[in-house]
Amino acid sequence: MPIQYKLESFEGPLDLLLHLIEKNKINIYDIPIVLITEQYMEYIHDLKEKDLDIMSDFLVMAATLLKIKSKMLLPADPKEDSEEAVDPRQELVERLLEYKMFKYISCELKDKQFGAAKLMFKESTIPDEISQYREPVDMKELLNDLTLQKLHVIFESVIKKQVDKIDPIRSKFGRIEREDINLSQKIMDIQNYGIQYRKFSFRKLLEAQCDKMEVIVTFLGILELIKMGRILIQQDDLFDDIIIDYLAEDIIPVEQFSIE
């Protein structure tokens, strides 16, 4: 049985498809593409308005529907995994859902615009001498029963509120100044240490550092000296202390370092 349309009521091909889906009470995620394509093509044939701009949009969608229909009529490829196969309708469903969302939002905005049109606003007509009027305050009456004791209670209450705002822990934090640790200078210190002791413990060298940052820079300095061939490290067993041998007989000045 042919379906009846109001041809002038659709704003575009997606609007028509949504109308067909709702009229046939179809699940938008499982569109019977054959039925929808037949009803859509009936609308195209009955379209009286021959405006090329309007017709082109509907014809593009008709071609899309026919392409999806042809793909769904073809037998499935036996080599293709059924779980990995892409539904030919998926892209169309996503477009319909997006259009439906924007259509709903536009209807909501239109309702708000319609409701706002019913409201009327009146500008203030209160004279300036009335709007700027402030009732005078009688200071004698205000301070009539005020005593020094009451003032003291008010003062203590204000001070207590200020004290309660102070974090008892964070308020005792001091300012921590960041110390700049120079890698080149640290390499100089390690060289001086190596000239003095020649063979020393890597663990004891790190334990002599002041903080975590200095430990890290010291470790980087050791790696740099290994790369320069000025020290040799050895470890007898796993997790044993690393012994450092200072091989060089001199100290490279800071200005000769080429640290990347």
Tokens, residue 195: 């000239």
Beta bridge partners of 231: 246
Using CA atoms, how far apart are residues 223 and 150, in angstroms rounded to an integer? 72
Residue 5 has a pLDDT of 41
Q: What is the average pLDDT across 221-227?
A: 84
The yes or no reply on domain 183-256 and CATH 1.10.10.370 is: no
Residue 200 banded pLDDT, cuts 50, 70, 90: confident
Residue 84 banded pLDDT, cuts 50, 70, 90: low
Domain ranges for the chain, please list them: 7-76+85-115, 183-256
Using CA atoms, how far apart are residues 17 and 23, in angstroms rounded to an integer? 10
**Phi and psi at residue 257, to the nearest 5°:** -70, 140
C-alpha distances (whole Å) from 249 to each of 184, 194, 195, 198, 245 are 19, 9, 7, 9, 12
Tokens, residue 104: 């709903």
Which residues touch 105 (CB under 8 Å, ≥6 apart)? none
Tokens, residue 63: 């071609």
Q: Which of 48-52, 59-63, 156-160 has the lowest mean pLDDT?
A: 48-52
Are 61 and 17 in contact by the 8 Å Cβ rule? The answer is: yes
The pLDDT tens digits for 15-59 are 888 888 888 888 888 888 888 888 888 887 776 555 556 677 778
Residue 207 has a pLDDT of 79
pTM exceeds cut of 0.85: no
Which segments of the chain does DSSP mark as H helices, in order? Answer: 13-23, 33-46, 52-73, 90-117, 128-131, 139-142, 148-164, 183-197, 202-207, 212-227
Biggest alpha carbon–alpha carbon distance for the chain = 104
